Chain A
């Protein structure tokens, strides 16, 4: 059974089709929700909410306009933003993580940027810095760099103009760069990386 047929059957209320759609898109939906919320339980809850809403309103979905995933993603991002608004997430500060990472370090290692970078983990540092970026900009960054969406689609999902979406991404990157360079230890890594890039 192809995807279009699956959706047609789901619109007609076929439970097996609902289940298939759910199983096909669950993992992708969960991963995106997790990136936006940074909490597995919240992500699970929001994904469930999004699917329930989507199945209840399946008649509103127009397959000519967009794919089911595109439609579901709009619902999902909107639900994630609502969830975040309701619940102030406890974000572990970068300083706490840095302090935790610094403790077991050998005294001589702090001066070596390559070692520091390796120990902290480049991706961990970027991920931690991403948590400190403002929510609007972070959502835009995730949609742009994880989902690989064009600005027009990001604008549609976030409910803003294309220019605003572009500006949010740029602003997010600016914040991220500042966060990464101001941190004492990451500054070494980023500094080296930026110097190498230049």
Chain B
């Protein structure tokens, strides 16, 4: 009996659902609404992708600036400043007319001057290590 009533109930459910489904008025399919939603979604996706790309570019630019402004002073601190060598420019000397004619003695005097500068011979022997002065702390 239980099986029979179960079957009966099954048929009743089947009939009822079929009747309800058949009698319910089906509205007209609105393709326009679905299409609009599909397009909206697509546009939104495109817009999102574009904004992501723009944001990535902006972040890259910001990072470049930040890194350079951060690393700039550090690098500058690490690299020793080059010494500026002042090379004197030779001043043009105008020799008097009398001297212009007698350049030879002038040169010779210069050489004399140089010879007097090297008064100590460069081959002078160095003092022995034992004789060197040692400073104790």
Residues of A within 8 A of B (CB): 15, 18-19, 22-23, 26-27, 30-32, 34-35, 40, 44, 48, 51-52, 55-56, 122-123, 126-127, 130, 141-142, 145-146, 173, 176-177, 193-194, 197-198
Do B27 and A197 have beta carbons less than 8 Å apart?
Answer: no
Task: Name the prevailing secondary structure of the B interface residues.
Answer: helix
The A-B contact count (CB < 8 A) is 86
Chain B interface extent, by class:
20 to 34
Question: Which B residue sits closest to A56, measured CB to CB?
Answer: B41
Nearest 6 pairs between A and B by C-beta? A146-B17, A26-B29, A126-B16, A31-B21, A145-B13, A123-B16
Do B34 and A22 have beta carbons less than 8 Å apart?
Answer: yes
Task: Name the prevailing secondary structure of the A interface residues.
Answer: helix
Q: Would you give the shortest CB distance from B48 to chain A, in whole angstroms?
A: 14
What are some 30 contacts across the A-B interface (CB < 8 A)?
Answer: A15-B35, A19-B35, A22-B29, A26-B26, A27-B29, A30-B26, A30-B27, A31-B26, A34-B20, A35-B17, A35-B21, A40-B27, A48-B30, A48-B37, A52-B34, A55-B34, A56-B41, A123-B15, A123-B19, A126-B16, A130-B16, A142-B17, A145-B14, A146-B17, A176-B9, A177-B9, A194-B8, A197-B5, A197-B8, A198-B4
Do A145 and B27 have beta carbons less than 8 Å apart?
Answer: no
B132 touches A (CB below 8 Å): no
B18 touches A (CB below 8 Å): yes
Q: Would you give the shortest CB distance from B105 to chain A, in whole angstroms?
A: 103
**Complex CA–CA separation, A145 to B1 (angstroms):** 21
B43 touches A (CB below 8 Å): no
